[in-house]
């Protein structure tokens, strides 16, 4: 495919509610992920696998699904918005000609086998078994509300990293079963309240009068990020809020990838707090430093 593989993907943020009881043999229920407020992706993760989040912005999520046993396949997952499909509700809506174009993007492989499946709620999936230089891998691709979602299973390697361990039919079936168990669920936007606090219009963002990160702000952030693995978020500034049916919050954080000696980056974490005090992660966006550089050099 265009290999969103380069973005090495995902799922990660399917950790919205953390691990729960087993859904079926070989799977562990992981919860759900809100994707840019457009829909919720719900799934379960194969037994023995864990998720590492690599990246999450407003229009892209990237992560890795790995097993401690390096001989087991690695699964990369990518969710990325594509303007080309901005008016596509589901891949089911594409014409036969459009699907042929997507299929043709796999033509650089030596051998390609196509198969179509669907998720529990009927979203069409393109399952592609690809072979390149005698190495096979499986790519499962779909489109939902303009977001391209791609899962790629790559063969494992021996502990000494000397040999590739070919995919087995059982492993391929595991991936297909895992992906077809995913549901794309449309979110129902909350109805805004007719009025908020004095001087605040419902739906409008208001800068915080005091940007101090209080214990209350930390508690909100901890609730919203509960179960999120791979990246730590240190709150730096409370930016402001927005009145809806409840309240949205924006918090500037220093984000650091865990265990990778990574250079910290700056992110804005958006949380939704409902009227009962429940908190949900809505989005994690890049802090745009480039927006500060709009003027030419001083004369």
Q: What is the CATH number of the domain that holds 269?
A: 3.10.450
Shared domain for 287 and 150, answered yes or no, is no
d(CA 279, CA 16): 11
Could you read off the pLDDT tens digit of each residue along the chain, which spans 299 residues? 443 333 223 333 323 322 222 223 344 444 455 666 566 666 666 777 777 767 766 667 777 778 888 888 888 888 888 888 888 888 999 999 999 999 888 776 668 889 998 877 788 889 888 887 777 888 889 998 888 888 888 888 888 878 888 888 888 777 777 777 666 666 544 444 433 333 333 346 888 888 999 999 999 999 998 877 778 889 999 999 888 778 889 999 998 876 656 678 888 898 988 888 889 888 888 877 666 555 554 44
Number of Cβ atoms within 10 Å of the Cβ of 149: 26
The three-point CA angle 211-233-213 to 5° equals: 20
**Does 199 reside within a domain?**
no
- What pLDDT is stored for residue 74 in this prediction? 85
Give the residue from 186, 217, 243 where a domain finishes: 186
Neighbour tally for 49: CB within 10 Å: 21
Q: What is the dihedral of CA 217, 218, 224, 229, to 10 degrees?
A: 150
3-state secondary structure of 86: coil
Q: Are residues 136 and 247 in the same domain?
A: no
Which tokens in the block code for residue 223? Answer: 């609730």
Q: What pLDDT score was predicted for residue 292?
A: 57
Terminal-to-terminal C-alpha distance of the chain = 49
Q: Tokens 């949205």 correspond to what residue? A: 248
Phi-psi label, residue 64: left if phi above 0, alpha if psi -120 to 50, beta otherwise: beta
Segments forming the whole domain that contains residue 63? 4-186
Does 192 fall in a domain? no
Domain final residue, candidates 136, 158, 186: 186
For residue 116, how many other CB atoms are within 10 A of its CB?
10
With contact defined as beta carbons under 8 Å apart, do 58 and 13 qualify? no
Task: Quote the pLDDT of residue 228.
Answer: 75
Number of domains in the chain: 2
């Amino acid at each position: 495919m265009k290999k969103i593989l380069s973005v090495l993907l995902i799922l990660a943020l399917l950790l919205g509610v953390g691990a729960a009881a087993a859904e079926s043999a070989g799977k562990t229920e992981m919860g759900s992920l809100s994707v840019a407020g457009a829909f919720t992706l719900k799934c379960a993760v194969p037994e023995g696998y864990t998720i590492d989040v690599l990246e999450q912005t407003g229009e892209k999520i990237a992560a890795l699904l790995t097993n401690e046993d390096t001989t087991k396949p690695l699964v990369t997952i990518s969710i990325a918005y594509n303007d080309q499909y901005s008016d596509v509700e589901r891949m089911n809506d594409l014409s036969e000609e459009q699907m042929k174009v997507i299929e043709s993007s796999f033509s650089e492989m030596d051998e390609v086998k196509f198969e179509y499946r669907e998720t529990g709620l009927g979203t069409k999936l393109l399952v592609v078994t690809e072979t390149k230089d005698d190495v096979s891998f499986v790519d499962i691709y779909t489109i939902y509300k303009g977001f391209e979602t791609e899962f790629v299973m790559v063969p494992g390697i021996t502990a000494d990293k000397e040999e590739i361990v070919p995919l087995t039919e059982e492993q391929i079936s595991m991936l297909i079963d895992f992906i077809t168990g995913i549901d794309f669920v449309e979110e129902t936007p909350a109805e805004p309240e007719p009025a908020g606090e004095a001087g605040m219009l419902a739906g409008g963002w208001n800068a915080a009068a005091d940007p101090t990160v209080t214990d209350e702000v930390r508690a909100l952030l901890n609730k919203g990020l509960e179960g999120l693995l791979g990246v730590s978020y240190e709150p730096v500034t409370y930016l402001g809020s927005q009145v809806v049916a409840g309240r949205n919050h924006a918090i500037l954080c220093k984000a650091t990838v865990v265990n990778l000696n990574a250079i910290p980056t700056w992110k804005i974490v958006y949380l939704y707090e409902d009227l009962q005090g429940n908190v949900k992660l809505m989005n994690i966006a890049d802090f745009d430093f480039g927006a500060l550089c709009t003027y030419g050099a001083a004369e």
